[in-house]
Structure 1
Amino acid sequence: MDRVELLDATTGRTKWLDDPVEIRLWIGGLNDVVLIPEENQEGSVGGMYVIGFYEGEERKLWSSPQSIGDVYYETNELFTGQIRLLFEREFSTP
């Protein structure tokens, strides 16, 4: 993975991260996150944050605070908080 797309679904704004060190550090900060799949996998509607993980021009995976790919997870405050902090940091600067 060499690029990450951040989509703020509330505003439609998009930012790209392409610094490999920054990407590895953020992903490394998720090492202690334990996600538990929801029993009901019908999904939910909408979400404030969407993250796309790319190799070149090809999106390999997408994620939100509620899901990774097509798997929905119970709310995890650590995971949600890390995503929120990333978006606040990236979208607070022009």
Structure 2
Amino acid sequence: MSRTFSLEAECLGLRLRAGTEVVCRGGNLWLTFEVPGRPSPDVLLAPGECHRLQADAEVFVAALHGAGPALCRIDAPPRRAGQRRFSWLRGARAS
């Protein structure tokens, strides 16, 4: 499953499965991962770059502050029986 969206001033929270790829299609993306008990790792993506999740994670995606809007594509691996699609986190804002 693939989904593309634009971000400008908002931060979008997603719950993503292992194997999901986050692709920067334009602008610059800032990814922050929710990791209980440790500092949250950050990943910056330029146009054409991608990041593949090695484990299920809560990911916050935003356009890099001051760099203008960004275009993000999420490519989730095919679901197996009983698996959920990626989901928006409560309280996160989508454009």
Q: What TM-score comes out, normalization by structure 1 length?
A: 0.26
More helix by share: 1
TM normalised by structure 2 equals 0.26
Higher relative contact order (CA 8 A, sep 6+): 2
Structure with the larger strand share: 2
